[in-house]
Amino acid sequence: MSLFLVYLAGVIGFYIIIYYNVIKCSTCKSTAVLKGKTAIVTGGNTGIGKTTALDLAKRGARVILACRNKRRAEAAVFDIRRESGNNEVVYMQLDLGSLKSVRSFAETFLKTEPRLDLLINNAGETSGGMIGPGRTEDGFGMVFGVNHLGHFLLTCLLLDLMKKTGRGRVVNVAALLHRLGTVSFSTLAAHKDLVTGQRTWDNFQAYCNSKLCNVLFTRELANRLEGSGISCFSLHPGVISTELGRNQSWWLRLPLVPIAKLFFLDAEAGAQTTLHCALQEGIEPLSGRYFSNCAVQEVSAKARDDAAARKLWEVSERLCGLS
């Protein structure tokens, strides 16, 4: 029995060390009030996107939920309005897998909204959702098209309004797995994707590659926005339990539940670094940097490659028809 107790104490001690040093997330400390300001949250109908939108609404912002699924988005609007007491929460249709839809969203937004203060590029295909093969409406790999190209075009189309509005921020939700990513421009040119296959490993690699694109995009965006009053940041939100196995059958998700409860963040904790990057006062000089756990972090060597970041921007412009 004594050996069992020693073993149990060791396991508990190990978990406590892991929890407080790896899992436990810092909290956004900003007290910013957003009355009169407008924010877009892509994918704001679920998970950390919905939690982010709720926080912004509680601070008084006009919040646009830019989502693909109308039913889920309208349900989220109802929930956020009720919980925040803010009726300035609205849904606008956006399918990041369609460049036509991105352009339509931007056109409608620019016609109907006089300002844009915060652009939270949160939506995306997730590794936790065990994404499968597929192509966007424009023929690009689904993960590359949604996680990078759709957000790239959306940001470019809205930048002029952000500049007119004044000081604003663009926040790109990336991931720690950008460290495993690569960007092969020859593969992209040949396959309209950053991977060549459609196996499970290719899907995982596509996710990592797209997250590297998020970090590189943020880096180059910061260079191009210098002196404009707009800052931008990329971030790792943590491993979120709400996304784990999102598209899997219940019998595959069931064994993951206790693991998720013990080791992964809930949506509220997962949204904290996004909120920090969107709201924290005084971090503007860190524009272009990457955050995790509400603090600036170093990125992989590939994510610090300014030449690759510049080329990715130029290639993305051509793929989106901006040049």
Residues designated catalytic? 207
**Residue-wise over 257-295: b if at least 16 C-beta within 10 A, else e?**
eeebeeebbbbebbbbbbbbbbbbeebeeebbbbbbbbe
Q: How many residues does the chain have?
A: 323
The answer to whether 40 and 116 have CB atoms below 8 angstroms apart is yes
Please give the Cα distance from 269 to 26 (Å, whole number).
Answer: 8
Q: Parallel, antiparallel, or unpaired: how do β-strands 118-121 and 295-297 relate?
A: unpaired
Q: What does the DSSP assignment read for 97-136? A: T-HHHHHHHHHHHHHH-S---EEEE-----TTTT----B-
How many Cα atoms within 13 Å fall on the side-chain side of residue 260? Answer: 16
The answer to whether 166 and 282 have CB atoms below 8 angstroms apart is no
List the Cα angle 116/287/320 in 5-degree steps: 60
Please give the Cα distance from 118 to 101 (Å, whole number).
Answer: 20
Please give the Cα distance from 174 to 231 (Å, whole number).
Answer: 16
Q: Parallel, antiparallel, or unpaired: how do β-strands 290-292 and 295-297 relate?
A: antiparallel
> Coil, strand or helix: which one is 83?
helix
